[in-house]
Every structure is written in structure tokens, then in C-alpha cells.
Structure 1
Amino acid sequence: MPRSLPPSGGIGLKSVHYQNVLDDAAETKRPSWVEVHPQNYFGDGGPAHRWLTAIAGVYPLSFHSVGLSLGSAGGLNADDLDQLAVLCDRYQPAMVSDHLSWSGNAHDRYPDLLPIPYTEEALDHFSGEIGKVQDRLQRSILIENPSRYLSYRDDAMSETDFIDALCRKAGCGLLFDINNVEVTATNVGLDMEAYIDAIDPAIVGEIHLAGHAREDHDSGPLLIDDHGSIVSDISWNLYRRFITRAGAKPTLIEWDSNIPEYDVLMAEVAKVEATLANQQASEPRHAIAR
């Protein structure tokens, strides 16, 4: 029986930190849960699986897939889905997620998570592909809101309306990436706070926080979603705004490039815990009737 993700701070697990998370002497500096990219564990054995087996004995796991390509017109990546199903049977992760994107066609695979148009046709297609995944895995999954660098001229609905409709139509949940809100809003000209306020907390099963790079151009700033630095002040403020309304949610510090020392990563987790503690302390307390 898979354990649930606690509503507290987790980390995106990297091989350089395997020993750190298992170090008994560092128990006070442990995350509450860990997330991995399952594609890194599609082999049958070897050191990676020995480490993950040991870590799964201590922590709840979340699988954050990067390869299903649910938005591809020709359908999802069936090989990835088969291997993901095997891995889920083996480790029983608390959560499984993928992206609101596509990354391949009938002839090529791309190392990018590319945006989809927000149309009724795309909604029908994407929800159908999610249904195939959920039927194969026998569980609901989460879909992550994208980081975008462009928008389609023929979009028929906003991103938040598309996400809400998708979750209800497909019966999935949302992996709410706060950094992606900052990146997308800056790049395509959206209101960040309005975006945050438009998300229904009931559909959110997990939150991601990450850093990004910034390029300054004559036309304005361009944010690059590289997950290679600390979380920005803007993203922290957006996170506080959301959890003030939503309450505590499992929150991941995602760091995929320029991997830092373990203590730097855990300092970001400590900020998550402090933010959640402050939010809970500020909630109104009701008198107990006698």
C-alpha cells in the first residue's frame, strides 16, 4: 500500500544526495519525502535501484515523469508507459505525475516539454491520453502546469480554465508549479496573482518550487525554467498567497541543474517548513463550545 505524501517539504532526489538522505546523523536535516524522475530507473537493476530501494524504505516517493508526451498528436509514448507501470508496481509511489506538454511525433523525440494549444480539440485529446495512463496504472495522476515561452494565436481559453477543465474531464489532479507561473506570466504577459487565485485548491495534489534564469532583452525579460538556483522572492510570495487560501500541501524543492550541496537544498526545504508553519499559526482559532 503506497504511503501518502505529507503536506510538508520534499526534495527532487539526485544521485549525489543518495547517502545524505540515508544518513542517520542528519535526521534533523531530512526532507519529509522525495521525488524522482522514473525514466532514470527504467533499467531492471544496478546501483540506482539498490539506492532507491533503500530510500523507499524510509521516505514516501513521488514519480515525476518527463517522457509520456501526453500532448503528442499521435498519442502518448507507449514504451514509457509500460516501463512506468512496471516501476510503479515495484515501488508503489505515493504520487505519479507528468506534464501539460508534448515532446515527440511519429518520427522524432525531443528533449523539451513543448506547449499545447488551449482548444476544445486539445482538451479532448489530452484528457483521453490521461485516461489511458490512469487505466494502465490503476490510479489517478497529476499534470503539471507548463513553463511557456509563447502562446498560440488560436487559444480558445486561458491556461487556468484549460487546467480546470482538464482535471475535471480526465479525473486527474494538478501538480502546481509556482515557478512556472512566474516564468509563464513574465514571458507571455499574464497576471501572476490572478493566475494563482484562479486555481482551485481542491485539484492540487502537489506543489513545486524551483529557480529560473533570466535574460534581459530590448523587448523585455525572458525567464528560462532551468531549475538551477534558489527560489525567487516572487515565487515565494506567490506560494504564500496560494497556501493562505489552500492550506498546507506537499511542496517540493526542485533543483535539476547546477546541483548544489545538500545543505543548500535543505535550506530551501527549511523555508518551505517555515512558510507552512507561519501560515498555520496565522489561521483563525475558534473557541471550543462548552
Structure 2
Amino acid sequence: MSSIASFSGFGLGLRRPHYEHFLRGDVPVDFVEVISENFMVDGGSALRTLEDIRATMPVILHGVSMSIGSAHGLDCEYLARLEMLANRIDPLWVSDHVCWTRTSAHNSHDLLPLPYTAEALDVVCDNIDHAQETLGRPMLFENPSSYMVFPEDDMTEWEFISAMSLRSGCYLLLDINNIYVSAHNHGFSADDYIAGLPADRVRQVHLAGHTDGEIKIDTHDQPVCDGVWQLYTKARLLLGDVAVMIERDGDIPAISELLTELGRARTLVDPPAQHAAAVQW
């Protein structure tokens, strides 16, 4: 299995309200990310739009339904459709989540938590091997947000994800908001989480918002909060060249608001003047 080269850039999730901005070529970003399942079709206007945008900038395919933790294995039809899309788009890379979403008869359409056990690690790594062999490329996997733990857990989430990456050869998509949310919900140290990961396996960072409360909920419909910005700043001290993006899926604002957030992500790691022109709107 080949390796994935580092890529340093700042991007946004491509969402329908902003298609026209991207088609005009006036959005100053280095890449876009799309939800893979929205484009795993034979044709249509959405796929044509993605192909047009791909002609001008790199695209990342980010899945939500691979169900890498499914004990009965992966859906071969799903993998075939994903492979077809990847061959058509030639993405920067393909990613999904460290979770399970379905049984053999039912898809929950939710990112459900895994027990962090040696048995679950075997299942996940076998499934990643299957996916990577089918796609012919290494994948990235994202740490989930979670709201429960299993009494059977015999390792931390970051120990599980580290072992998964090193054993399977996959890479990591580090969602800073998910770490922040889960650290609050479960009472662990977000700093320990980040320090415990193999930084050289991280290729991408997500920044998003959540709904506050006694239990924080990862809703992607709010601006990035100060606590997540602070955690991102510390994480970047440990990471090399990575792709950083703002992820917004609900209550989607004007493109200018997202670019302002992306400008903050740039200036927290680079001198402000260096990217001033890129974030003007």
C-alpha cells in the first residue's frame, strides 16, 4: 500500500448553498471536502458540479456510511460505488469515521461508538484492510464524538486509534471539535488525547461547532468555539503539514462567514499578513 503525502492547505466543506461561488472560482481555498455518499451516483447535476470544481482544485471524499466497525464486514456494493466515484474524481484522499453505522439489515445513518477492545481492533483493522485493498489507496479515518463508553473498554480512544493506524497503515483525520466534545462528556484530558496520537499519521484537521450543555453535542451548526480554537492552536504545534478545514452541516451561513473562520485558522499558525489577501471577501 502506497503512502499519502503531506498536504498543507486550508479548505471548506462543499455544500449546496455555496455551489455557485465555487463554480465561479471566487472562493479563496486550497481544497474542498464533500460527503461521499451524496455523489455515489451514476450521473446528475450534483456530480457534474463536483467534476467542474475538481477541475480547479483538489477534492477530498469524506464518507459517513462505510461502517468500519461492522462485525460482519463491509458492504461490497457500497465499496464498489465508492471506488467508482474515487476513480472518477481522483480525490486528494478518501476518508471515513472510526465507528459503525449499520447491521446486515439496517443502516442507522448515525456514527455509533465502538468498544475500545482488542477484539474490536481486530475487526476494524480487517475492515480497513478490505477497504484500502478495494480502493487501491490508503484511507484516512476520523475520531468520532461520543456520548457513552463501554464497560469492556481496555484502552483509551486515542490508544485504540493509534494502534489502528499503525497496524493497518491508514492515516488520521483529527477532528478537534470531536476531541473537545468527548473530553467534556467523558472527563478525559483533550491534551493527553492529542499527545497520545502518532502525529506523523495525521493528514487532515476538522474544525467545527457544537451545541453546549451538560452533555456537549457535535451538531456542526455553530461557529467554532474558543475552547476548540485553543485546542487547535496547541495541536498544530505537534503536527506537520496538514489540510485544515471548517466543517459546517447545519444552519449554513454565508460563504463570507466561513471564510472568516478559515482566516482565523490560518492566522493562528501563520503570520497574519501572509494570508491577508486570501481571506478577503
Q: TM-score, normalised by structure 1?
A: 0.89
* SS at structure 1 position matched to 2:238: helix
**Among candidates 93, 96, 100, match of residue 95 of structure 1:** 93
Unaligned runs of 5+ residues in structure 1 are 216-220, 282-290
Secondary structure in structure 2 of the residue aligned to 1:106: coil
Identity of aligned residues (%): 37
Q: Distance in 2 between matches of 1:278 and 1:157?
A: 39
Tell me by how many angstroms 1:265 deviates. 1.0
The Cα offsets for residues 2-45 of structure 1, whole Å up to 9 and x where unpaired, read as: x9774121101001111112324x3xx42110000111011211
What are the equivalent positions in structure 2 for 1:214-233 lying under 5 Å apart? 214-215=212-213, 221-233=214-226
1:245 deviates by 2.1
Aligned mate of 2:188, from 172, 180, 190 = 190
Query: Does 2:264 match 1:249?
Result: no
Q: How does 1:80-91 map to 2 (within 5 A)?
A: 80-91=78-89
Residue 205 of structure 2 aligns with which residue? Answer: 207
Q: Distance in 1 between matches of 2:226 and 2:30?
A: 23
Q: Give every structure 1 segment of 4 or more consecutive aligned residues whose post-TM-superposition deviation is greater than 2 Å.
A: 3-6
Q: Name 2:16's counterpart in structure 1.
A: 15
The answer for unaligned runs of 5 or more in structure 2 is 275-281
Which residue is 2:40 aligned to?
42
Structure 2: distance between partners of 1:5 and 1:229: 29
Letter in 1 for 2:225: S
How far the C-alpha of 1:188 sits from its partner, in A, is 1.1
Q: Does 1:107 align with 2:105?
A: yes
Q: Report the CA distance shift for 1:175/1:124 in structure 2 as closer, same or farther (over 3 A).
A: same
Query: In the TM superposition, what whole-angstrom CA distance separates every residue of 1:222-281 from its partner, at most 9, and x where no partner exists?
Result: 1110111111111111111011122341101100111111111111111111122149x9
Aligned to 2:270: 277
Kindly provide the amino acid, as one letter, of the partner of residue 7 in structure 1: S
Equivalence map 1:174-185=2 (5 Å): 174-185=172-183
**Equivalents in 1 of 2:64, 2:238: separation in Å?**
29
Conserved? CA contact 1:175–1:204, under 8 Å: yes
Paired position in structure 1 for 2:170: 172
For 1:248 and 1:275, the matched residues in 2 are separated by 14
Counterpart Cα distance in 2 of 1:226 and 1:278: 31
Cα distance between partner residues in 2 of 1:83 and 1:5: 27
Structure 1 residues 5 and 168: CA distance shift in structure 2, 3 A? closer
Distance 1:144 1:177, change over 3 A: same
Structure 1 residues 270 and 276: alpha-carbon distance in aligned structure 2, compared to 1, 3 A threshold? same
Q: Is the 8 A contact 2:7 2:203 kept in 1?
A: no
State the distance in 1 between where 2:105 and 2:23 align.
42
Once residues 253 and 44 of structure 1 are traced to their aligned partners in structure 2, the CA distance between those partners, rounded to angstroms, is 28
Alpha-carbon distance between aligned partners in 2 of 1:148 and 1:94, rounded to the nearest angstrom: 28
SS at match of 1:193: helix
Aligned partners of 1:8 and 1:272 also within 8 Å: no
AA paired with 2:98? L
> Match of 1:254, as an amino acid?
E
The answer (yes or no) to whether the contact 2:69–2:124 under 8 Å persists in 1 is yes
TM-score relative to the length of structure 2: 0.92
Q: Is 1:60 equivalent to 2:58 in the alignment?
A: yes
Structure 1 stretch displaced more, 124-133 or 72-81: 72-81
Following the alignment from structure 2 to structure 1, what is the Cα–Cα distance between the partners of residues 23 and 7? 18
Once the 2 structures are TM-superposed, how far is the Cα of residue 191 of structure 1 from its aligned partner? 0.8
Paired residues of 2:208 and 2:248 also in contact (CA < 8 A): yes
Let me know the Cα RMSD of the aligned residues.
1.6
